[in-house]
């Protein structure tokens, strides 16, 4: 019996590793072997081909996951992000396979049999075959897997799953070996989260109290700062563009159609239809729809004026006419009202959405915008479609166009592909379709001194004000430590005294900030002690500790094991991230997607011979 328990313990420990595999920030995949076919290679990783089939399999999976998570169609910008994510995942899969081979990590049939006794592939945990009263039944699973009636394809799936996962578990243990968290580290973390203090403090507010006219900044000081802080004046690549935006917001006819729909639902209710039932079927407010549109009890003034007015004037038990709120039309029914104090009401929200016809019109206009942009200037295309042209500056760090939102796809085109005067194809975000015309572009570099001068002058002026406040504060602290009352000293200097707390080391403290010198000194002083003047970004404080509550060591002991597990998981994830970054940094990765996966030009003439011509 003891021998069997020792053998089982070995595999139970292996389960811990298997569970931790869920921490992986990448998809391990199934046996990336560099199969050929289709378009063949679209890149290499240390000489191992990245095949089109493997890339497409991962991309398809990511695409389906995203499409399931949102109702609206995937935009071109999202599609580009998915393509990059799929590439990164396939590259990581290959790097992992190469590392498994390099380290000689293998798994035996006996290991697979042993682990399969104690662990279940995630996909099978939802199988009706192993459910009892709606829950997964582990004993039923074990009995089935060991019976002669077990399906061969199911057994093969389990074997394939563990043959793929177990080597990665071994690799994971090797990568994260040596990580250990001492009780001292756990206690220090607990103290940081649970020890608190109360303080009072004097803010010296140097920027507000010291006039700019009293601070002189010389040209020599500005030049010296610019010379010594070049990294602060690095600017990203940037492009000036003209943009035309075709918004996806519902059109006027959609608002009219929504109003008519809301009126029709209201009439159904007046004709006897069940309000609660229609709320469940029709309301776009999901949290209340499942409860018959119940808004609960709310006081006057909480809702927007139109909604509030209807709620406090409508006859009890009757559905109102549609009420506009900015996101759609509401139908209200007030069930109870207590004068002009509060009401209990229900509602049905009918959102304004594009109809199928309106959506088709939008897509036709987007196609027209692209066609016109190819045959005329962007301004002419905009004029034909009744759209406006706006100017925007896009950088590699920040790409935003009013009405379209973040336009990373357009920025990439402008910064990497286009020449001045080129007009882009139509790009799409969740908010709009848009086209950009490149006016000019400039590479990244260092901001010239003359353009940085004003900012540097402001920085140096603030530093000098802070230094003056520190000197003033030192005089105030001397008086307080000499026996003067802190409040009286502050009032004599025209300063206010504020209080804060209780707060912990990691809390944000209004007025004091977060994780700065003022917070640190608050914990380092004795009770009633007054600090030296403490400089933080934008202010100088004098702090006095009023109370100090220590962390509870008994409570810490009770939760220590759970805390250790949580911290160990975070440390393992951090080690894994660093290890993966190292693998990638040292790998020879060739990305040929741009070359191999070029979109087909439908207008290009077919070749007459050679290549793929026949």
Give the model confidence (pLDDT) of 337-363 as tens digits. 998 888 999 999 998 888 888 888 889
CA distances (Å), 431 to each of 10, 214, 366, 372, 401, in order?
Answer: 54, 49, 13, 21, 11
pLDDT (tens digit, 9 = 90+) per residue, 276-291? 999 999 998 888 888 8
Task: Report helix, strand or coil for 238.
Answer: strand
pLDDT score recorded for residue 37? 40
* 210-269 pLDDT per residue, tens: 999 999 999 999 999 999 999 999 989 999 999 999 988 888 888 888 999 999 999 999
> Which two tokens mark 201?
């403090």
- CATH number among 3.10.50.40, 1.10.8.50, 3.40.50.620, 3.90.1150.10, domain 252-353: 3.10.50.40
pLDDT at position 399 over 80: yes
Mean pLDDT within 190-202: 94
Q: According to the per-residue pLDDT averaged within each range, which of 27-31, 145-149, 359-363, 473-477 is highest?
A: 473-477
User: Own/partner pairs for 218-225, CB < 8 Å, 24+ apart?
Assistant: 221/460, 222/449, 222/453, 222/456, 222/457, 222/460, 223/449, 225/456, 225/459, 225/460
Kindly tell me if the per-residue pLDDT of 166 is higher than 80: yes
Give residue-wise pLDDT tens across range 362-385.
Answer: 899 999 999 998 888 899 999 999
Evaluate whether the domain defined by 237-251+357-443 bears CATH number 3.10.290. no
Residue 235's DSSP bridge partners are 445
What mean pLDDT is reported for the chain?
85
Secondary structure class of 583 (helix, strand, coil): helix
Q: Parse the chain into domains and list their residue ranges.
A: 2-176, 196-232+450-549, 237-251+357-443, 252-353
Give 199's contacts (C-beta < 8 A, 6+ positions apart). Answer: 499, 500, 501, 512, 522, 543, 544, 545, 546
Predicted pLDDT of residue 28: 43
Q: Of 330, 321, 255, which is closest to residue 285 (Cα–Cα)? A: 330
The first and second tokens of residue 161, run together, are 């799953």
**Of the listed ranges 19-33, 67-81, 390-404, 430-444, the one predicted with least confidence:** 19-33
Lowest mean pLDDT segment, chosen from 7-16, 125-134, 239-248, 281-290: 7-16
Residue 593 in tokens: 């997607």
pLDDT tens by residue, 74-107 = 888 888 889 999 999 999 989 988 998 899 988 8
pLDDT for 482: 94
Handedness of CA 134, 135, 139, 144 (dihedral sign): positive
Cβ burial of 404 (10 Å; 0-12, 13-18, 19+) is buried
CA distance 474 to 540: 11
| Strand-strand pairing, 238-247 and 389-395 | antiparallel
pLDDT for residue 604 is more than 50:
no
| Residue 116 confidence (pLDDT) above 60 | yes
* DSSP secondary structure of 207-235: HHHS-GGG----HHHHHHHHHHTGGGGEE
Question: Per-residue pLDDT for 208 more than 50?
Answer: yes
CA-wise closest residue to 243 among 442, 427, 80: 427
Flag whether pLDDT at 21 surpasses 50: no
- Confidence band, pLDDT 50/70/90 cuts, at residue 22: very low
The H or E element containing residue 234 is strand 234-235
Q: Which fold has domain 196-232+450-549?
A: Chitinase A; domain 3 (3.10.50)
Alpha-carbon distance values, 500 to 194, 371, 463, 495, 510 (Å): 16, 63, 26, 16, 8
Task: Dihedral sign for Cα 67, 69, 74, 76, please.
Answer: negative
Give residue 1's pLDDT.
Answer: 32
pLDDT exceeds cutoff 60 at 16: no
Degrees to nearest 5, angle at CA 85 with 429 and 38: 105
Residue 58 clears pLDDT 60, i.e. is over it? yes
Confidence at residue 39, expressed as pLDDT on a 0 to 100 scale: 57
Tokens encoding 560: 């220590």
- Burial environment of residue 382 by CB neighbours within 10 A (0 to 12, 13 to 18, 19 or more): buried
User: What's the count of helices (H) and strands (E) in the chain, helices before strands?
Assistant: 21, 23
Rg, Å, the chain Cα set: 33
Comparing 196-232+450-549 with 237-251+357-443, is the CATH topology the same? Answer: yes
Question: Quick one: tokens of 436?
Answer: 């950009």
């Amino acid at each position: 019996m003891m021998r069997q328990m020792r053998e089982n313990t070995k595999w139970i420990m292996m389960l811990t590793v298997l569970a931790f595999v869920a921490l992986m920030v990448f998809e391990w995949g199934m046996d990336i072997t560099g199969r050929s076919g289709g378009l063949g290679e679209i890149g290499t990783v240390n000489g191992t081909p990245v095949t089109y089939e493997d890339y497409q399999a991962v991309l398809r999976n990511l695409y389906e996951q995203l499409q399931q998570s949102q109702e609206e169609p995937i935009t071109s910008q999202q599609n580009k992000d998915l393509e990059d994510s799929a590439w990164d995942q396939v590259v990581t899969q290959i790097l992992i396979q190469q590392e498994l081979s390099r380290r000689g990590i293998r798994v035996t049939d006996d290991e697979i049999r042993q682990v399969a006794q104690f662990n279940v592939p995630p996909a099978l945990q939802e199988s009706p075959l192993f459910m009892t009263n709606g829950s997964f039944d582990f004993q039923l699973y074990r009995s089935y897997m060991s019976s002669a009636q077990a399906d061969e394809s199911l057994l093969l799936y389990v074997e394939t799953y563990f043959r793929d996962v177990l080597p990665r578990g071994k690799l994971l243990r090797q990568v994260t070996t040596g990580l250990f968290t001492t009780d001292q580290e756990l206690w220090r973390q607990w103290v940081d989260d649970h020890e608190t203090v109360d303080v009072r403090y004097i803010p010296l507010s140097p920027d507000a109290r010291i006039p700019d006219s009293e601070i002189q900044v010389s040209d020599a000081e500005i030049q010296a700062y610019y010379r010594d802080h070049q990294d602060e004046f690095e600017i990203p690549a940037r492009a000036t563009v003209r943009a035309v935006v075709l918004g996806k917001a519902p059109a006027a006819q959609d608002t009219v159609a929504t109003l008519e729909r809301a009126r029709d639902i209201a009439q159904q209710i007046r004709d006897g239809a069940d309000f609660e039932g229609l709320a469940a079927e029709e309301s776009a407010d999901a949290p209340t729809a499942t409860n018959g549109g119940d808004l609960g009890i709310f006081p006057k003034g909480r809702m927007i004026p139109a909604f509030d007015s209807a709620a406090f004037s409508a006859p009890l038990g009757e559905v109102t006419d549609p009420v506009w709120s900015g996101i759609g039309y509401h139908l209200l029914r007030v069930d109870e009202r207590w004068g002009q104090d509060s009401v209990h009401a229900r509602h049905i929200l009918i959102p304004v959405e594009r109809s199928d016809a309106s959506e088709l019109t939008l897509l036709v206009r987007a196609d027209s915008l692209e066609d016109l942009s190819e045959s005329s200037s962007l301004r002419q295309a905009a004029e034909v479609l009744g759209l406006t042209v706006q100017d925007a500056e896009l950088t590699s760090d920040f790409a935003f166009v009013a009405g379209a939102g973040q336009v990373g796809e357009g920025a990439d085109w402008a910064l990497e592909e286009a020449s001045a005067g080129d007009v882009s194809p139509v790009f799409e975000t969740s908010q709009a379709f848009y086209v950009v015309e490149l006016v000019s572009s400039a590479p990244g570099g260092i901001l010239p001194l003359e353009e940085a001068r004003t900012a540097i002058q402001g920085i140096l002026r603030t530093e000098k004000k802070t230094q003056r406040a520190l000197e003033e504060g030192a005089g105030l602290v001397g008086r307080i430590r000499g026996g003067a009352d802190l409040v009286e000293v502050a009032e004599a200097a025209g300063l206010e005294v504020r209080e804060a707390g209780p707060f912990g080391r990691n809390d944000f403290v209004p007025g004091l900030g977060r994780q700065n010198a003022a917070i640190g000194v608050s914990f380092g002083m004795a009770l009633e002690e007054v600090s030296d003047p403490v400089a933080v970004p934008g202010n100088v404080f004098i702090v006095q500790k009023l109370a100090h509550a220590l962390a509870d060591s008994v409570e810490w002991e009770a939760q220590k094991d759970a805390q250790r597990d949580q911290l160990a998981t975070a440390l393992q994830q951090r080690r894994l991230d660093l290890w993966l970054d190292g693998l990638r940094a040292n790998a020879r990765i060739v990305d040929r997607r741009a070359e191999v996966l070029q979109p087909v030009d439908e207008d290009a003439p077919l070749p007459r011979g050679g290549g793929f011509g026949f």
